[in-house]
Amino acid sequence: MNKLNTRARRQAPLHDIAVYPVIGEAGRYHVQSAGHEGILYLVDLDELVSGWCGCPHFEYRIGLQLAPEFECKHIKAAKAYRELQQREKGEVKTWG
């Protein structure tokens, strides 16, 4: 696999990443890996500053304490999913 293909897969749009809520555990989601088919990462939006993810990229950043507010694409996808669900239920207030 060349670098171009790897880079393109890493930049998958959030709407192409599947998100599955963990039943009975609010704020927790299984989020599909954008680069590895069949791999799901556990995301907990209520942990740390911006949430927690089990993906290697997130664990590397947090392990080195480079950015505790860092959000990987899995956290961003889970947040987008949660916001969409809240909008559909009328729980998100919009101003304007």
HSE of 58 in the Cβ direction (CA atoms, 13 Å)? Answer: 22
The string of pLDDT tens digits covering residues 53-91 is 999 888 887 766 666 567 888 999 999 999 988 888 776
Total domains present in the chain = 1
In a domain, 84, yes or no: yes
Distances (CA, A) of 96 to 15, 90, 93: 26, 16, 10
Residue 93: inside a domain:
no
Q: Does a structural domain hold residue 95?
A: no
Full domain range(s) for residue 41: 3-88
To the question of pTM greater than 0.85 for the whole model, the response is no
Half-sphere exposure of 3 (CA within 13 A, CB side): 0
Q: What is the pLDDT of residues 10-38, one digit of tens each?
A: 445 666 789 999 999 999 999 999 888 88
Does some domain include residue 96? no
82 domain residue, yes or no: yes
* Helices (H), ranges, 1-96: 3-10, 56-63, 73-88
